[in-house]
Amino acid sequence: MLLIGKTGSGKSTLLKQLKPDLVVGNITEGTLDCQIADNNISYISQFVDNQMITECARDEFNFILENRGYSTDTRHMRIAEVASYFGIIDLLDLTEQELSGGQKQLINLASALITDPDILLLDEPTSQLDPIAAEKLLQMVHKINSELNVTIVMVEHSLERNTVYANRLAIIESGSILLDEKVDTALKKMYQDNFYKNYLSQIDRSFMELKFNDDMVLPLNNRQFNKLLIEHKDGINYVDSPRKVNNSKKVLQLKNLEFRFDFESKTIVDKVNFELDEGMSYCLVGPNGVGKSTLIRVISQQMKQQSGKIVLDGETVNNKNIDIYQKLFVLPQNPALLFVADTVFGEIEFQLKQNNSEITSQQVDLILKQYDLFELKDISPYDLSGGQQEFLALIIGLIKNPEVLFLDEPTKGLDPNMVLKLHELLEDYLATGGILFANSHDLVFATRFDYVSMMFDGKLSEFKQPIEFFRDKFFYTTEINKASRDSFPDALTWNNLKKL
């Protein structure tokens, strides 16, 4: 079962109610009738790095099984079974720091299954995974459901790739279930709603927009959609996405940048060179664990490179001109690291007063209303949902109005409509001459940038416009591009295909 809804609608809270030892607060109305014992229900958090409590997977599995009272021999056999089933034998003794995000989440999934649960609760399990790792994880979840007869309840924001594995889809809105149907019925009802149609996968949205007469069951796979496009090609028009003109004013330059964690370890950033131009946006894609986040931390000088130069506005960035850092802002993967106040109101007030100590409460309220945060003003930023924290941290960055805005996985935790809002805010920022540099696993989001590059093995590919970057990729491209390359090779999203 898939459970979706707006950012902050209560999806994660509802999911935790299904496992009593995770419940915070009290059920104030109604009852929860669960016939399954609590220790037969496993839960995986949306935060990949918050799951493991030991140094490596082998210790993690042993710790879980020992707490359940399993004998040494049984623990040994159970670990052997699970490691073989998940294909993680080679990962058992690697430390958490040596694992990629995809590997960590696979180990988290194995940890949840090692006690043979009846129900598995997954809170946005793919939100921090690259597209290939996400697909592998979903395939494994489907295998668990179909082969081991484990009931799966999965909270997600995106319906890309996952609906094909589900048999029910529910929407939660303001704490209530708005819809609960079989997947085909739910998707077709969602298309009739101007808000929820944005949640549809790119393939299903395009199928509905093109209004094919074929009465097909949703969701469609890429092969089905490819066949339809070929059959109906004469009735479809390709519409190019608008692109900005680059004024070629260089603001930030990287020259032979190199970084490793110590002199004996692998080079994470390997002689990287590129330039960022005023008013333009740049997106970095690539597998988990290749160093995209590390590169951002090095550019912003949170980590010091071993060699190479960073030049901002013609001035080399170093410890002697620390004031230059104020021209940069980094939104980290954990946005809570930026919070300094007890309430959302306090966060915005604090940031505004850095520029103007005379800011009034009424002016703070206006900003909160402008960014749709007013209803959250008295809530602690630490009590917000993951997506709400992400959005609040972005607003903090925009208030600072930096020359260069760095975003580390900015769409995680955001529902599709919040992603559209995010895009609008970033376009407004770029219009002032700011520069946006982000890394993202959301390839549809990446298509909205001016330039895209892939990082692998410490190096970056050439930054190219999205069409030029994605159209020759086999795996690192959008689902629409995969499905339409035989008929419309430049199509990246559903917006590029219109019915004549």
- The pLDDT, as a whole number, for residue 364 is 95
Structure tokens at 266: 């692998």
- The pLDDT, as a whole number, for residue 29 is 66
What is the C-alpha separation between 19 and 123, in angstroms, rounded? 13
Fold (topology level) of 250-464: Rossmann fold (3.40.50)
Give the model confidence (pLDDT) of 148-181 as tens digits.
999 999 999 889 989 999 999 999 998 889 999 9
| Type of residue numbered 424 | E
What is the Cβ-side half-sphere exposure of residue 140, based on CA atoms within 13 angstroms? Answer: 27
| Type of residue numbered 193 | D
| % of the chain beyond a pLDDT of 70 | 96
Q: Which residues of the chain have pLDDT under 70?
A: 24-38, 214, 322
- How far is residue 489 from each of residues 239, 352, 466, measured CA to CA in Å? 12, 46, 12
What is the C-alpha separation between 111 and 115, in angstroms, rounded? 8
**Domain spans of the chain?**
2-200, 201-238+472-499, 250-464
- The pLDDT, as a whole number, for residue 33 is 65
- The pLDDT, as a whole number, for residue 44 is 92
- The pLDDT, as a whole number, for residue 17 is 86
- The pLDDT, as a whole number, for residue 25 is 65
Structure tokens at 121: 């609760």
- The pLDDT, as a whole number, for residue 317 is 83
3-state secondary structure of 121: strand
Which CATH number fits the domain 2-200, given the four candidates 3.40.800.20, 2.40.30.10, 3.40.50.300, 3.65.10.10?
Answer: 3.40.50.300
Give the model confidence (pLDDT) of 341-366 as tens digits.
999 999 999 999 988 888 899 999 99
- The pLDDT, as a whole number, for residue 30 is 65
What is the C-alpha separation between 84 and 480, in angstroms, rounded? 34
Torsion angle defined by CA atoms of residues 445, 446, 451 and 455, in that order, rounded to the nearest 10 degrees:
150
Q: How many CB atoms within 10 Å of residue 105?
A: 27
Q: Where is 274: in which H helix or E strand?
A: strand 267-277
Give the model confidence (pLDDT) of 56-104 as tens digits.
999 999 999 999 999 999 999 999 999 999 999 999 999 887 887 788 8
